[in-house]
Structures are given as C-alpha cells and as structure tokens.
Amino acid sequence: MERTAVFGAYGHTGRFVVAELQKRGFAPIAAGRDGGKLRDLAAGNPGLDVRRASADDPGSLDQALKGADAVINCAGPFADTAGPVIEAALRAEIPYVDVAAEIEANLDTFELFGARARDEGAVVVPAMAFYGGLGDLLATAAMGEWTEADEAHIAYGLASWHPTTGTRAAGAVSRRRRGGRRVRYTGGRLEYRDDEPPALTWPFPEPMGTRAVIGEFSMADVVAIPSHLRIPEVRTYMTVEAARDVSSPDTPPPVAVDESGRSGQSFVVDVVVRNGSAQRRAVAYGQDIYAVSAPLAVEAVHRIRTGRTKTTGVASAGEIFDAPDFLKALSPHITVELP
C-alpha cells in the first residue's frame, strides 16, 4: 500500500488531502507541528499514522517521512515550509508535491532546487493545486500542438472567496516579501508595480456570463505557466466579488455544506491562449477551491509513483504530466471543456 506523508495534515486543505488519499486506497501519514491538532485528527480517523514534525527541525521531518513513498506539503506559509520539506524529501529520496499559491515561494522552489533536483533525478512539483496547477494544466491542454503563443489569459470566476487562516497568513507573507507591491508577468518576466490593477470585464461562459474582474490579479499561474511554455504575456483575472472577499478582514472562513466538508462556493476557471489571430479555450467548473486541491495533489502523486511523468527535477503540472489526460482523470471533482 502506498504511504504518502501529508505535512500540515490537520489544516483546512490538509484534511481534504488526507481524506482523498484514504478514499483512493493510500495510507496517509499525517504530520505537523501541533501535537494537539494531530491527536484531534487521529480521533476522527482510527488507525491514522500521526507524526509530530516541524519545518525548523530537520530530524523531526526525517522521522515524519520515514517509510513514506511521497510527501504532499499543505502547510503554509510555504515561504517557511517548502524549502525544509523539499530538503527532507530529497534526503528520503521521495517525490515532493505542494499546494502553494505563494508566487515568491514557488519561485524559490524553481530557483533553489531546480538544478539539484534535476541532477539527482528527483521529482518536485510546486503549486499542484487550484491556483497554479489547474490553470497550468488548462493552458497546456489548450496549447495542444502549439510550441509558443502570444498570450495566456486565466480568468477566475469565483462566486465568493472565504479565505482560510492559512490563506490569510500566506498572503501576508507574500505582500511583505514584495514590499506591498503587486506583480504581473509581461514581456517574458515578472514585473512589480505600485499602481492599482486595472478594472475590466471578462466574458465567462454561461451561466456566469460577463462579469467585472480585477485585471492582473496574479496567482501562482504566473510562475507555473512560463516555467515551461513560451508565452511572454500571462495575465490573470479575478471576479470583483471574490477579490473583495479575500481582501476584507471581516470575511469569515469557509463553512461546510456537505458531508465531505466542502463549502458551497462554486467556480469557473476560463483559460484562453492566443497565437496571432488564433485563439483556443479550456474551461473548468467545480465546487470549493480548497477541496479541489486535494484530487489535484493526490492524482499528481499517483502519476509520479506509477511512472506517468515526462520529466524530472522541479516541474510544474503542465510540464510533467499529460495535461488533457490528467484533467479528464479529475472527474467527477471538476468538469472540464477542452478544445
């Protein structure tokens, strides 16, 4: 039986990942620094292997990953945890996957571990989640046989965005690291700016339809997509309501509406790639952005462990996996429309 360690297993997304692993027949190892929260998680999951570990204690991480076949890092802020957990995964010679939406943390992973992971034949997949992984898979699938494109547009149509405590903490770290500036990907590079992002509209597919969006609302896609696709302009958009939700300190965390723990939030991710006068589109629909990250990360681990990968080293979802086939495997969690 495959044994996958989940670091940050008792967090909001971590719990979804543990449940998805169990549903698919994996044996999860629940790891994290808070012993009390680990015990609470174990109380509701008889037989669950729980191990206390901290990102600032390499020895505890080694013990947490002992006997594991892979590790999924769900513990943010990833600026603090990604590096230490990747180091532990490399020592254990097992694949590493994370669900980081932090642009700077994802950049660190590529820059600090790219050469080493490639030389060691290791597999490290950052941003294997709703933000980053899903958009990258959709853009890659939309590209098809194209080897380059002029623009990629990733529009997030969220009915609402009730952020978790982890999302708020990660966002604060990112804002601090970029000095309060916003970031966009243009001219083949990241650009940091002090001005306000543009207010635009985006023609989402029905039933959402055309909605007001915040332009250049950059997420992990601006790291994942350019890491392997020759697209000099990668632009992201967020519905105004969702942007307002996540920026307000008064917005409550997500509330479960079903037995799986999912919130009632719905989403559509609309990806358009343009090459000259030609345009291609890929769309994904689903419920609960945090819950959806679980099948994305678990499917990634499954494909890595069964040899269905295209490269080694640090690689984004679209580079390492067959994007159309991966997206189809996410049913029934996500409904996908491909070119």
DSSP codes, 128-158: -SIIIIIHHHHHHHHHTT-SB-SEEEEEEEE
Distance of CA 37 to the CA centre of its chain: 23
Q: Residues 268, 320: contact at Cβ < 8 Å? A: no
Residue 181: which residues within 8 A CB-CB, separation 6 or more? 192, 193, 194
Q: Which helix (H) or strand (E) holds 59?
A: helix 58-65
DSSP label at residue 206? T
pTM of the predicted structure, to 2 decimals: 0.97
Residues 105, 78: Cα–Cα separation, whole Å = 6
The strand pairing partners of 192, in sequence order, are 183
- Which residues have C-beta within 8 Å of that of residue 291, sequence separation ≥ 6? 16, 260, 261, 262, 263, 333
- Domains, the chain, in order of start with CATH, read 3-129+293-324 (3.40.50.720), 130-288 (3.30.360.10)
Q: Which of 116, 60, 103, 115 is nearest to 84 (CA)?
A: 60
First to last CA, the chain: 37
Burial 178-195 (b: 16+ CB within 10 A, else e): eeeebbbbeeeebeeeee
Cα separation, 201 vs 284, in Å, equals 19
pLDDT, tens only, 257-295: 999 999 999 999 999 999 999 999 999 999 999 999 999
- pLDDT tens for the chain, 339 residues long, are 799 999 999 999 999 999 999 999 999 999 999 999 999 999 999 999 999 999 999 999 999 999 999 999 999 999 999 999 999 999 999 999 999 999 999 999 999 999 999 999 999 999 999 999 999 999 999 999 999 999 999 999 998 999 999 999 999 999 999 999 999 999 999 999 999 999 999 999 999 999 999 999 999 999 999 999 999 999 999 999 999 999 999 999 999 999 999 999 999 999 999 999 999 999 999 999 999 999 999 999 999 999 999 999 999 999 999 999 999 999 989 999 999
Q: How far apart (Å, rounded) are the C-alpha atoms in residues 135 and 118?
A: 24
Which residues 6+ apart lie within 8 Å of 152 measured at CB? 139, 221, 225, 229, 231, 233, 234, 235, 271, 272, 273, 274
